Amino acid sequence: MRGLSSESGTPPETAALSAILITRNEEANIRDCLAALAFAREIVVVDCGSTDATVELARSEGARVVVTPDWPGFGPQKNRALDEATQPWVLAIDADERVTPALRDEIVAVVNAGVGDAWDMPRRSSYCGQYIAHSGWYPDRVTRLFRRGTARFTDDLVHERLATREPPMHLRSDLLHESFSGLEQVIDKMNRYSSAGAARMQAEGRGASVAGAALRGLWAFIRTYLLKLGFLDGRMGFVLAVSNAEGTYYRYLKLWLARRR
């Protein structure tokens, strides 16, 4: 974003911004996430079912915490958080994401200038300790900053998106995503997301076969490792391509098994 950035260094005064996030058992992430949001005039955390110290830690960092008794899915839960926001601008973020000082300065400049209705930003994600520069993972632009009242999250149970009134404008600085700390986390998320994806496709009336699942998994590997230049991410690029292939294979295999039943 040209002409709006300020100098990094001393944190700016709070901006007319509500930072919103949803949580469940995020005690390992919540403090670092909220500490990077100190420039927001309001931080809203909507929690569902945390059994660790997430709620207490969020409150200790100055967040207003709303606890919900049920889980309606990612999109509806994020809309609950959005409905709690009171400031003119909203920054939607996940607990495992971090606003860098450079991105903070850009966000504050946009809010203070009142420019545009929605802004996206490049997101740089880590995979088992390595930030990925290729493999279809970067720049991975995500729309997270918007004027309140101009956008809502879709109702998807997973892979929800922000539906904006106008096409987003572009910020330049990275949002960091501490996505997968280890292989166990990769496998756990792969299992949950492949199940949710299979359920969505089944509801849409889509079909699947064992051979089709295998071919789609192979194509996911080729696309990630070759077409998306995953080989430039070194050995971790290969590991990532394999996990993408497995996730795709299991999603369609679960759909096939569900339709058999």
Digit-coded pLDDT (tens) for 96-110:
999 999 999 999 999
Query: Any idea which residue has 């699947």 for tokens?
Result: 208
- What domains are there in the chain, each with its CATH number? 15-180 (3.90.550.10), 183-260 (no CATH)
Confidence of residue 147 (pLDDT cuts 50, 70, 90): very high
- Over residues 191-200, the mean pLDDT reads 93
* Sequence-separated (6 or more) residues with CB below 8 Å from residue 1: 106, 109, 110, 119, 169, 170, 171, 172
Among 35-49, 83-97, 155-169, the least confident range:
155-169
| Token output for 46 | 């909507």
Q: How far apart are CA 159 and CA 155, in angstroms?
A: 10
Q: What is the pLDDT of residues 208-230, one digit of tens each?
A: 999 999 999 999 999 999 999 99
Q: How far apart are CA 40 and CA 144, in angstroms?
A: 14
Q: How far apart are CA 67 and CA 260, in angstroms?
A: 39
Query: Any idea which residue has 């607990």 for tokens?
Result: 95
Instruction: Give the pLDDT confidence score for residue 180 in this predicted structure.
Output: 87
For residues 218 and 166, the answer to whether their CB atoms sit within 8 Å is: no
Stated pTM of the model: 0.84
Instruction: Give the pLDDT confidence score for residue 156 in this predicted structure.
Output: 74
Instruction: Give the pLDDT confidence score for residue 224 in this predicted structure.
Output: 98
Q: What is the pLDDT of residues 38-75, one digit of tens each?
A: 999 999 999 999 999 999 999 999 999 999 999 998 99
Confidence of residue 160 (pLDDT cuts 50, 70, 90): confident
- Over residues 4-15, the mean pLDDT reads 55
Residue 157 has pLDDT above 80, yes or no: no
Instruction: Give the pLDDT confidence score for residue 12 in this predicted structure.
Output: 53
| Token output for 196 | 């949710």
